Structure 1
Amino acid sequence: MNIPFLDNWRRKHAGIQATPLATAVGGEQEGVTELLSECELLRVRAGQSGLRLDDSPGSLDELDQLPPRWRDDPEEMPWLGNDAGLYLGTVIVRTVPGALWHIWPGGHPVVRLASGREIQVVEAGLEWAVTGTPELAQVYAEAAEA
């Protein structure tokens, strides 16, 4: 998918290193994971559909199957997408060995895998909320393979 403003953002941020999130906020990685895993809006909407989010890879597949009712509310959609990205990151950090939260200058959280590859989980969550792709379970599968 060609999204011009993302190309500009990537060029602008090329070479800028992310900082471990726990270091950036002065806390422990598990505390940061707890903070970012709240995803209250997503958990409420999933619960209304009978889905309990248990921070497992299987819950991502179940989220992918939900009818996208949030698309009916343009004000809620970006918030839900942000939560979906943070939830995706939480599942990756909790289940993929060596995955950690990092923060870009300006407060942008990403997940860095043991390989050094960074996953823009918030962007993936926003795209998922708007279009349904990439599927959250697919992003997770790619992270688990890396």
Structure 2
Amino acid sequence: MNLSFLDKWRRRTDAAGPVPLAESVRADPGSVVELFSECGLLRDQAAAAGVELDDSQRSLEALDQLQPVWRDDPEVLPWLGNDAGLYLGTVVVRTVRGAVWQVRPDGRPVVRLDSGREIDVVAAGHEWADEGAPELCQVYAEVAEG
């Protein structure tokens, strides 16, 4: 995968100190979308259950139906919650007009809507992984409504 913003970031980090991820998001938003959409652990869990993650609302509904076997593993749970949030954000950014990734000053990625509203998708992913609610498709529906 070609993530050109990482190459630029690495060069600038070596030359002049660290460059905030937020600057990289502005410089090459397409690569950031690709990076955030990887979600390897979530994709592995979904594939093992026969669920294809195709960046659609339908895939969010399928994730909501998975048996939460990850809750039995305290080492997997936080990583899966993070992946679930990044995947939710990926679906929103790819399907909701005007939605873009943004990185807060504290380094947390959020999805910003045309209205200016910020959605903390990572927090939503952790809630889903920990408790099962709100469902990912429910968060998506609320975001898509505007």
Identity of aligned residues (%): 65
Amino acid at match of 1:82: N
Paired residues, number:
126
Q: Give, in angstroms, the shift of residue 137 of structure 1.
A: 0.2
Whose RCO is larger (CA < 8 A, sep 6+)? 1
SS at match of 1:91: helix
Q: Distance in 1 between matches of 2:78 and 2:58?
A: 23
* Higher Cα Rg, which structure: 2
Q: Which residue of 2 aligns with 1:56?
A: 56
1:63/1:33 CA distance change after superposition, 3 Å? same
Q: Which residue of 1 aligns with 2:70?
A: 70
Contact 1:37 1:90 in 2 (8 A): yes
1:26/1:93 CA distance change after superposition, 3 Å? closer
Deviations 1:79-130 (A, max 9, x none): 0000000000000000000000000112100000111111000000000000
Q: Distance in 2 between matches of 1:138 and 1:33?
A: 22
For structure 2, the residue ranges without an aligned partner over 5 or more in a row are: 1-20
Q: Distance in 1 between matches of 2:87 and 2:134?
A: 14
1:86/1:69 CA distance change after superposition, 3 Å? same
Amino acid at match of 2:27: G
Write the mapping of 1:88-99 to structure 2, written as runs, cut at 5 A: 88-99=88-99
Q: Which residue of 1 aligns with 2:104?
A: 104
